[in-house]
């Protein structure tokens, strides 16, 4: 009995000691995270001094410099690694409803929507933008208006998928209604490859989007004019890289982003 008891007691003692050490380390880490946290202060500085941080923009570069300086103050030597990537520049875009009345619409071009000559076309409502939503809808040469809400029992469609479907079916452009009220536009990208969008794609506010939808489904035949001056081009950007030395050979790679949409 004693031969069995002593090894068991030693094992429990060692386990208890290790657990206490882990808990103590965890407590120090979480305590430091709360009491010595500079992340929000740094984030505030970036927002105030750099503004919007679109890929390859002056604001994005300035944010990197601010972060590098903050890390230096903490005793961390960070290096900038620059590279070229597909970029996008927002221009002075304009979206108007021209029939049954003339009015400027608060709209926001999605990333990688390329410039094009101005055009006017009829608007038709196409549900949530799934292929089956176009059944019985004459979309050829028209502007598709779609909801950002997913129908019940379905996964939401990604915007780049809805753009490609509309383009394949012959739509001239696609407009996404923001699902959240408050006269705000939902910024986002037209694709994740950095290629020019096949057709213009814009985000509309919930209020104006639902109004145009009401016109479309009630047979008022709304028409809209789109003018896109935003354009795609290659840009130079970079990563901020640094290492925190440890006591073992194993490595943990952590990534984070500090860029933002230009309207942020």
Helix (H, G, I), strand (E, B) or coil at 92: coil
- pLDDT for res 4: 52
Beta strand 231-241 pairing with 201-204:
unpaired
Taking the C-alpha atoms of residue 65 and residue 253, their distance in angstroms, rounded to an integer, is 22
DSSP string, 6-45: HHHHHHHHHHHHHHHHHHHHHHHHHHHHHHS--HHHHHHH
- pLDDT for res 125: 98
Which one has a higher pLDDT value, 104 or 16? Answer: 104
Q: What percentage of residues in the chain have a pLDDT greater than 70? A: 91
- pLDDT for res 154: 84
Residue 203 pLDDT exceeds 90: yes
Weakest-pLDDT range from 9-23, 98-112, 116-130 = 9-23
Weakest-pLDDT range from 28-32, 64-68, 123-127, 257-261 = 28-32
Q: Name the DSSP letter for residue 62.
A: H
Confidence (pTM)? 0.83
Beta strand 116-125 pairing with 223-228:
antiparallel
């Amino acid at each position: 009995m004693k031969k069995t008891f002593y090894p068991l007691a030693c094992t429990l003692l060692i386990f208890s000691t290790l657990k206490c050490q882990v808990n103590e380390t965890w407590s120090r880490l979480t305590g430091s995270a709360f009491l010595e946290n500079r992340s929000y202060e740094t984030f505030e500085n970036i927002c105030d001094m750099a503004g919007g941080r679109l890929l390859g923009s002056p604001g994005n570069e300035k944010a990197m410099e601010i972060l590098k300086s903050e890390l230096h103050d903490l005793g961390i030597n960070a290096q900038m690694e620059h590279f070229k990537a597909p970029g996008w520049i927002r221009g002075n875009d304009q979206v108007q409803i021209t029939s049954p009345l003339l009015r400027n619409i608060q709209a926001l071009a999605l990333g990688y929507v390329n410039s094009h000559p101005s055009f006017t076309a009829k608007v038709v409502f196409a549900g949530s933008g799934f292929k089956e939503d176009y059944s019985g809808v004459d979309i050829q040469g028209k502007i598709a208006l779609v909801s950002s809400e997913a129908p019940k029992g379905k996964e939401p469609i990604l915007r780049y998928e809805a753009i490609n479907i509309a383009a394949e079916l012959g739509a001239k452009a696609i407009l996404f209604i923001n699902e959240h009220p408050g006269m705000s536009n939902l910024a986002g990208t037209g694709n994740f490859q950095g290629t020019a969008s096949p057709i213009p794609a814009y985000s509309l506010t919930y209020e104006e989007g639902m109004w145009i939808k009401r016109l479309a489904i009630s047979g008022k035949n709304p028409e809209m004019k789109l003018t896109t001056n935003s354009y795609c081009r290659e840009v130079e950007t970079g990563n901020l890289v640094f290492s925190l030395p440890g006591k073992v050979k194993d490595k943990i790679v952590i990534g984070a982003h500090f860029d933002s949409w230009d309207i942020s």
